[in-house]
Amino acid sequence: MERMDKLQQVMELYFCLLDLNLYLDTHPNDTKTLKKFEAINEDYMKVRQEYVTEYGPLLYTDVTDNGKRWQWINDPWPWQLENY
């Protein structure tokens, strides 16, 4: 999977989580939706970690102190990538 495809997948899963979270704020007893939220969150965490491992940090919280603390500023920003 190419970088943009992986980033697209991360963004889609994150959008789903936000949407489900808003729904659950008003329907906290909907166990079916809560299970769906938990499953999508698991997928999101996995895909996000794959992206970070392969392409570098998405957020400042992804940066580890391995001597490359500011490495994330050297990568192109999402809007600087071609075909985005």
User: Domain-by-domain residue ranges, the chain?
Assistant: 3-58
Q: What is the mean pLDDT of residues 75-79?
A: 72
Q: What is the pLDDT of residue 83?
A: 60
The residue among 4 and 81 whose pLDDT is bigger is 4
pTM of the model: 0.75
Average pLDDT, stretch 12-36? 97
In this predicted structure, the answer to whether residue 21 has a pLDDT above a threshold of 90 is: yes
Mean pLDDT across the stretch 42-51?
A: 96
Mean pLDDT on 65-79: 66
Rounded distance, CA 28 to CA 34, Å? 8
The pLDDT value given to residue 37:
97
Q: Taking all residues of the chain, what is their mean pLDDT, rounded to a whole number? A: 86
Q: So what's the pLDDT on residue 58?
A: 82
